[in-house]
Amino acid sequence: MGHIVISGLNKEFVNRRKSRREDDTAPLGHVVPVLEDINIEIEDGEMVCFLGPSGCGKSTLMRIVAGFDKQSSGSVMIDSKAITGPSSDNIFVFQHSGLLPWMTVAQNVELGIRHMKDAHERCGKIQEYIEMVELEGFEDHYPHQLSGGMLRRAELARALVVNPDILIMDEPFSGLDFLTHMKLREEVVNMHQFLGKTILIVTHDIDDALVMGDRIIVFSRRPSQIKLNRKLDFPHPRNFFKKDTELAKLRDELFFMLGVNYAV
Amino acid sequence: MDSQTHPTFTHRLAPFLSFTVLVLIWEVAVRFAKLDSHVLPGPSQVFFSMIELIKDGSIFKHTVASLFRVTAGFYLAAALGIPLGIVLGRSHIASLLFSPIINFLRPISPLAWIPLAMLWFGIGDKPAVFLIFLASFFPIVVATMVAVQSINPTFFHVAANFNFSRFEVIQKIVIPAIIPAIITALRLTVTIAWIVVVAAEMIAVQSGLGYLILDARNGLRLDQVMDGMIVIGLIGILLDSIMRRLGRIDSAAWGIRQP
């Protein structure tokens, strides 16, 4: 289960900066509020996209939900239990690769199920998830031998193999080339429809949010408050170019030609 | 990278070429300068005295003696220094407590310890091993500490996310993460150790390449002095290539080959 209730959450940082950023008027050494009175309820199985200007604290909120960071006040309850720390029930997929570079893809995927007693079953599971992200044949490759898109897939496999309730993705497509970005986006949408996990995605790509989200939440500038919290009831695959059908067709054709099947 | 894993003919040939040129320059210099063999012996003279030393086996005896001391002191330093470096790198309090002491002891030349080493350990292998230990220990501790402190914090988050135990964090994150830096540190340190062993052997013992050099100098056998130097250089190359090979193991190579 992955039902999240965030209520009255505040987060402050102490400004330890020696010199001041240009647009920063806060006095040095003072408390800087980052998140102010955040109230969100996320249903089990919902895919929620968080948008906002950079530095607005979206990642901080994700780190709090993942248990890496503590809120200053307010509460975060997952399935009516307060967060006590990081746990394999909610897996964080890092912005830059969080794969351990000294382990092969298979060894990385194994991390989450390393306590599974039956070696045969364990290997089967590793293989199943590696195939799910289409990395078969790369089991024994080290991360530095993979491309950017493959790294994200491998990390996704590692996250999914533990069967977490919640998946938290911090700008999962940043730094990828356009087509890899599109393909991976499509795969995440498919995976979500198939597995039905609660997924939180931080992004600043509006397209991504519109295409993927069951809901989008938009943050304001710091100190961040919620500007918009809207459910997106549109069915997948979603299409922006409905108005101009000919262009839309061409766009679809191009996508299809280049390997993104539905341009979800 | 291909040229590293499969050295081409040129790659193998280049070092021989440069050494040949070096020896030629040496020979020409000796002939034209008409230097006395007590000042600078020529390559041929050095070569023949080397054969002499090989025949009576003394060069092997001295080499083994030096290698033993270096190995013992170096392993001792690595065995104690790496764990201490990990502790200092992981624990802020330990680093606050011990870093000043280490930084105080670090710049003191191991050679300055010779009088104390001889008083404590007498004459023989022990003071030499102690000096090599001192020379290697501090660089290894500091390099390990810095390596641990600069591990990407993301990896510790991953560890927490997958519920790693404290032992697993050391075993699966810290140790593999610092291996590339450790190998570099060991490469640098083994050279220092090798420098110190020669100095130590000139004072505290009756064997080893340092002793051979000192003994030959006392007998005005500069050709044998140079034999000692050549063996030291060759072993230096050998030790370094062994260390470099360690760095090419796949799971340790991530640090070098990362994009």
pLDDT (0 to 100) of residue A252: 75
Tens of pLDDT, residue by residue over A113-168, are 988 888 898 999 899 999 888 888 999 999 988 888 899 889 989 998 988 999 99
Instruction: Please spell the DSSP secondary structure of A214-259, one letter per residue.
Output: SEEEEE-SSSB-EEEEEE--PPSSP-S--SSHHHHHHHHHHHHHTT
Tens of pLDDT, residue by residue over B210-230, are 999 999 988 888 889 999 999
Residue A84 has pLDDT above 50, yes or no: yes
Tens of pLDDT, residue by residue over A12-36, are 887 666 665 555 555 566 788 888 8
Residue A51 has pLDDT above 70, yes or no: yes
Among A residues 87-116, those touching chain B with beta carbons less than 8 Å apart: 87-88, 91-92, 94, 96, 98, 100-103, 111-112
A85 has a chain B CB within 8 A of its CB: yes
pLDDT classification of B1: cutoffs 50, 70, 90: very low
B40-257 under CATH 3.40.50.1460, yes or no: no
The residues spanned by each domain of chain A are: 238-264
Strands (E) across A47-184 are located at: 47-51, 73-78, 81-82, 90-93, 166-170
Contacts of A103 in chain B (CB under 8 A): 172, 176, 251
A129 has a chain B CB within 8 A of its CB: no
Contacts of A96 in chain B (CB under 8 A): 154
Residue A204 has pLDDT above 90, yes or no: no
Beta bridge partners of B203: none
pLDDT (0 to 100) of residue A17: 61
Contact yes or no for A142 and B158 at CB 8 A? no
pLDDT classification of A264: cutoffs 50, 70, 90: low
pTM over 0.90: no
Could you tell me which residue, B4 or B160, shows the higher pLDDT? Answer: B160
Instruction: Give the CA count within 13 Å in the CB-facing half-sphere of B60.
Output: 6
Contacts of A155 in chain B (CB under 8 A): none
Do the Cβ atoms of B189 and B140 come closer than 8 Å?
A: yes
Contact yes or no for B155 and A98 at CB 8 A? yes
Average pLDDT, chain B: 86
Residue A19's identity, in one-letter code, is: S
Contact yes or no for B258 and A144 at CB 8 A? yes
Among A residues 31-70, those touching chain B with beta carbons less than 8 Å apart: 66-68
Beta bridge partners of A90: A166
CA distance A207 to chain B (A): 28
Residue A42 has pLDDT above 60, yes or no: yes
Tens of pLDDT, residue by residue over B13-59, are 888 899 899 999 988 888 888 777 777 888 888 899 999 889 998 89
Contact yes or no for B158 and A85 at CB 8 A? no
Residues 6+ away with beta carbon under 8 Å from B77: B132, B133, B135, B136, B137, B140, B189, B193
Contacts of A112 in chain B (CB under 8 A): 162
Q: How far apart are CA B198 and CA B215, in angstroms?
A: 12
pLDDT (0 to 100) of residue A249: 72
Residue B68 has pLDDT above 70, yes or no: yes
pLDDT classification of B258: cutoffs 50, 70, 90: very low
Taking alpha carbons only, the member of A63, A66, A64 closest to residue A88 is A66
pLDDT (0 to 100) of residue A54: 79
pLDDT (0 to 100) of residue B78: 94
pLDDT (0 to 100) of residue A263: 55
Lowest mean pLDDT among B9-13, B77-81, B131-135, B146-150: B9-13
Q: Which of A185-194, B5-14, B133-142 has the highest mean pLDDT?
A: B133-142
Average pLDDT, chain A: 84
Residue A199 has pLDDT above 50, yes or no: yes
The residues spanned by each domain of chain B are: 1-34, 40-257
- Closest residue to B163, CB basis, from A87, A101, A102: A87
pLDDT (0 to 100) of residue B250: 63
Report the percentage of chain A scoring pLDDT > 70. Answer: 88
Residues 6+ away with beta carbon under 8 Å from B179: A102, B251, B252, B255
pLDDT (0 to 100) of residue A23: 58
Tens of pLDDT, residue by residue over A227-239, are 888 888 877 777 6
- Closest residue to A102, CB basis, from B154, B162, B251: B251
Residue B65 has pLDDT above 80, yes or no: yes
Contact yes or no for A88 and B172 at CB 8 A? no
CA distance A110 to chain B (A): 10
B172 has a chain A CB within 8 A of its CB: yes
Tens of pLDDT, residue by residue over B106-147, are 899 888 988 898 899 888 888 889 999 999 999 999 999 999
Contact yes or no for A144 and B257 at CB 8 A? yes
Do the Cβ atoms of B229 and B219 come closer than 8 Å?
A: no
Nearest chain A Cα to B176, which residue?
Answer: A102
CA distance B122 to chain A (A): 46
